[in-house]
Structure 1
Amino acid sequence: MDLWLAILLFFLGFLLVLYNVSADFNYYSRISFFYFTILLHGMVCCVTMIPSWLKTRGADHVFEGFYYWCKWSGVHTTVHNYEGGQIEGSAVVICNHQSSLDILAMCSVWPHRCVVMMKKLLAYVPFFNFASMLACTIFIDRTNRDKAMQSVDYCVSEMKKRDLKLWIFPEGTRNRAGGLMPFKKGAFNIAIRAQLPIIPIVFSDYRPFYSKPGKYFKTNGEIVIEVMEPIPTEGLTLEDVPEFSEKVRQKMLETYERISAEAKNKMENTKKLT
């Protein structure tokens, strides 16, 4: 028994040394534990989300809880104008999409009675799929245009009927290169069809502390989040979508550049203090 304990302690000590001296091992350890945390939280939410589902609270409980599950990451968030995303009634929330770490930022700014739109592929992830169903997540098939258009109509009717907000990443995919990619039109089609306001939310650049291509995930990460003022869509038609979406994107890009500089300065100041 003492021999096995000694072997275990040696192995744990070896991993600890490797964690501190190998950048690749540090990255893979932290990001793997992050995904493991998501899996565990999803399993718990399969039970704890049932009351929220019965009350049609959307994903509120999911993100409120996950905020505490990820304290170990060391990532700190600063939110500007949190109240701007808490307007009464339905709305379409749009946000830039950088990586799976977006979940960390979403926990700090999640609007009340909000649900997520996700690609249908994620509906097959064990535990995550059932928890997402309880959170009233809307899955769409991007490969099928007819079904995608049906999803737009379904979103509009469900949002108004249940008084929900809908969170969408209009870039459509993760953007690891910085800035904002061109927006897809789905979020704007939904907002204009329903004549609902759009609430833009911007996350600062993660690259000072996290990069999948660079294989680093630092413990002193800083994310600055800004909730921009709601933008009305009353009177707009689907013909206005291309111009309207680009104007919104430009405003979000200006905000992104400003708060990214703020987040970077926060990290540099933290390093000086330590």
Structure 2
Amino acid sequence: MLKLFRIVIVLICCIIICVLGTLYSFIRFRNPSNVGVVARWFGRLHGLFGLQTEYRFSARAENIGPCIYIGNHQNNYDMVTISYMVRERTVSVGKKSLIWVPFFGILYWVSGNILLDRDNRSKAHGTMTELARRINRDQLSIWMFPEGTRSRGRGLLPFKTGAFHAAIAAGVPIVPVVCSTTHNQVDLNRLDNGKVICEMMAPVDISAYGKDNVRELAAYCHDLMEKRIAELDAEIAADKAR
């Protein structure tokens, strides 16, 4: 019964957010700060899933300037956990097919996000070049999931290099954002589903990297994030044991 109740309430809340978010975003048509506003609306739904979520922001969060945020992409619960970490003037890059998702698709586009045609490799490469241009022209930050797909309990998957090419081309730092492991954590029939920690890590200086060693940058960031996720998981496990 609890599961059914949650599904109905969450569905209603998501539709309301999508409708209100679309209207809000049409008023401020494709304003880059729309994305963070709507993302935080979704982030406030975490309690409906029985989650207690702690958000940790870098001490420099307000003064980083344009950058590329990279987050770990686990499952659909990312929408109510790590999404809350999206900052002002930050837009995301998603696959073009998202436009056809009922309610959410039009919101995703009108709020200012960038749609990527993943089936066309030449267009995808051009999009990374366009990202770099827009970052500097419009003073934007970009949010990306470099794994390219949900990990679904497989750990932090290998990173694709698009986000890192864009950061190098634009000359902006990479800012890792990590969320503790949520795979198999949520049971919709359980009242309390425990704690989740989302953390913005310190910016990674990309000045020593270029096109020739972009994979080294991706591997370095992957290692940083993998270690920090393990530390957050250990912290949560220790809290449970007390």
* Superposition TM-score, scaled by structure 2 size: 0.89
Structure of greater relative contact order (alpha carbons < 8 Å, 6+ residues apart): 2
Cα 1:118–1:56 shift into 2, 3 Å: closer
Once the two structures are TM-superposed, the CA of residue 59 in structure 1 deviates from its matched residue by: 0.6
Cα 1:244–1:32 shift into 2, 3 Å: farther
Distance in 2 separating the partners of 1:68 and 1:204: 17
Once the two structures are TM-superposed, the CA of residue 48 in structure 1 deviates from its matched residue by: 1.7
Segments of structure 2 that go 5 or more residues without pairing to the other structure are none
Distance in 1 separating the partners of 2:84 and 2:156: 21
How many pairs does the alignment contain?
242
Please name the residue that 1:159 is paired with: 135
Please name the residue that 1:237 is paired with: 210
Please name the residue that 1:201 is paired with: 177
The 5 Å alignment of 1:1-274 reads: 19=1, 26=3, 30-31=6-7, 33-53=9-29, 55-207=31-183, 209-210=185-186, 219-267=192-240
Distance in 2 separating the partners of 1:32 and 1:173: 27
Mean Cα displacement is larger for which, 158-167 or 49-58?
Answer: 49-58
Distance in 2 separating the partners of 1:52 and 1:76: 32
| Secondary structure at the counterpart of residue 206 of structure 1 | coil
- The letter of the residue matching 1:228 is M
**Are the aligned partners of 2:54 and 2:197 in contact in 1 as well (CA < 8 Å)?**
yes
Once the two structures are TM-superposed, the CA of residue 36 in structure 1 deviates from its matched residue by: 4.6
* Superposition TM-score, scaled by structure 1 size: 0.79
Cα 1:32–1:251 shift into 2, 3 Å: farther
Cα 1:208–1:236 shift into 2, 3 Å: same
Once the two structures are TM-superposed, the CA of residue 64 in structure 1 deviates from its matched residue by: 2.8
| Secondary structure at the counterpart of residue 89 of structure 1 | coil
Distance in 1 separating the partners of 2:164 and 2:173: 10
| Secondary structure at the counterpart of residue 81 of structure 2 | helix
Segments of structure 1 that go 5 or more residues without pairing to the other structure are 1-18, 21-25, 270-274
Mean Cα displacement is larger for which, 217-226 or 251-260?
Answer: 217-226
Please name the residue that 1:12 is paired with: none
CA RMSD after TM alignment: 2.4
Identity of aligned residues (%): 26
